[in-house]
Each structure stands twice: as C-alpha cells, then as structure tokens.
Amino acid sequence: MTEETADLDARHRARMQRKKALIDAGIARATDERGLLLVLTGNGKGKSSSAFGMVARALGHGLRVGVCQFIKSRTDTGEEAYFSLDEDCEWHVLGEGFTWDTQDRRRDTETAERGWAVARRLLQDPSCDLVVLDELTYLLSYGYLDAETVLSELRARPNGQHVVVTGRGASDALIEMADTVTEMRDIKHAYRAGVKAQKGIDL
Ligand code: ATP
Ligand code: MG
C-alpha cells in the first residue's frame, strides 16, 4: 500500500465515522410510533407500485391490509392476483375506468360514493393496520367526493392505522395533513417511445 492510498483510506474512515455519528443521532431522535398518512403523488411512474411495496412489507409482518382501487376497473392485475392469495389482504376494485372513458359525471359520482363506503369501513376498522387508497386524488380533484368529509374521515381513523393515498395532483389540504409526501417526477417513460403497458411492470 502506498502512503497515498493509506491516507485516502484514513480520510474515508474518518468521514464515515462523522457520517455515522450524524445518522445515529438522527435515528435516536426518531422515537415516535403512530399511524401515518402517506401521500404518493406527481406525474412520474411509481405511485401505485410503491404503495403495493408497502402492502408486501405489511403482510410480511403479519399485519392486516385493505386496498381500495378507485379508478381501475380491471381485475386482472398482477398485484391483485398476488395479494388476494393472502387472507390478511382485502382487495377492492371499485372503479369503472377513467373519467374520459365513462364521460358521465353523475355515474362517476355514484361510483365514487360506493367506493368511499368501502374505504370508510376499512378506516373505521381498528384491526386493519394499513389502508391503501389508490388513485383517491382524482375523486377529490373532480369533486366526485366531498374533500372535507374525506379528510375528516381520514383524520378520525383508528390510532396506529397507516393510510397510503396515491394519485396525481394531491391537494394542498391533503399534503398538509399527511406525514410523508413523495412526488414522483416524470423524467422519462417508455410509453412515449411507443411501449405498451406490460405485465410485471405496469399491471
Ligand atoms: P405504477 O402503477 O406503475 O406505479 P403510477 O401509479 O405512478 O404507476 P398511474 O397514473 O396510476 O401511475 O398510471 C398507471 C399506468 O400508467 C401504469 O401503467 C404506468 O406505467 C403508467 N404511467 C405512469 N406514469 C406515466 C407517465 N408519466 N407517462 C405515461 N405512462 C405513465
Ligand atoms: Mg397508480
């Protein structure tokens, strides 16, 4: 070993020791444990798939999970096929397709209200540890559901219950109320290069 690499190694070690001290101090400060509201928003891909990643984590720990999909009407997705096998996971496909497919505001509102009734039951069930409200933001931005009612029912959920909301255009009020908010930023998407939705990646 040359003197130069020995010096490099020592500097790296010292830097990592300082970093570890900072990280350990941060971890020591974070001691609370409570049910969280997480919002995954933005135009980039990864909102629903991130939510389903948390579903896998929760089920792996033996927690009980409820998933509500508010827009999708298809019941042939890989995530539903996989997670429905787990008796600790309740999976509800509550949509009737995108608003530009249905083109019917009154029908969309009725669908949204029926869907929210299912979500409400989960949000009132203390034995449900994680509730995923996939694509909920659209029901709020199109005014199919009353935002204040939804927010107050989210707020009134059992202590310790985690909720993940996904969808583009999360409102300021929802972001304000959430504990963790992530915006997926669209840098590139294969769709724009002519690639269709593929199993395992998009559905
Ligand atoms: P995913 O379910 O893949 O995590 P998402 O929940 O972030 O995506 P959605 O708006 O729910 O995004 O879109 C669902 C479908 O649209 C998926 O097939 C996804 O790959 C695709 N998609 C997501 N973002 C984009 C984008 N920026 N451009 C084109 N297609 C997209
Ligand atoms: Mg999605």
What residue ranges do the domains of the chain occupy? 1-31, 34-193
Tens-place pLDDT, residues 99-114: 666 778 888 899 999 9
Neighbouring C-beta atoms of residue 57, cutoff 10 Å: 12
Write out the two tokens for 143: 């005014």
Reported CATH class of domain 34-193: alpha beta
Query: What is the pLDDT at residue 99?
Result: 66
Residue for token digits 């896998």? 56
* Predicted model pTM: 0.90
Residue 27 confidence class, pLDDT cut points 50, 70, 90: confident
The best mutation among 39, 45, 192 to test binding of ligand 1, ranked by most ligand atoms within 8 Å of the C-beta, falls on: 45
Query: Does the pLDDT at position 98 exceed 70?
Result: no
Q: Which tokens go with 102? A: 């249905």
pLDDT digits (tens, 9 = 90+) for 152-188: 999 999 999 999 999 999 999 999 999 999 999 999 9
pLDDT of 148: 97
Q: Which atom of ligand 1 is nearest to the CA of 50?
A: 4
Q: Are 42 and 168 in contact (CB under 8 A)?
A: yes
Question: Which distant-in-sequence residues (6+ apart) come within 8 Å of 186 by Cβ?
Answer: 42, 43, 44, 45
Q: How far is the CA of 59 from the centre of ligand 1 (A)?
A: 24
130 CB-contact burial (10 Å; exposed 0-12 / middle 13-18 / buried 19+): buried
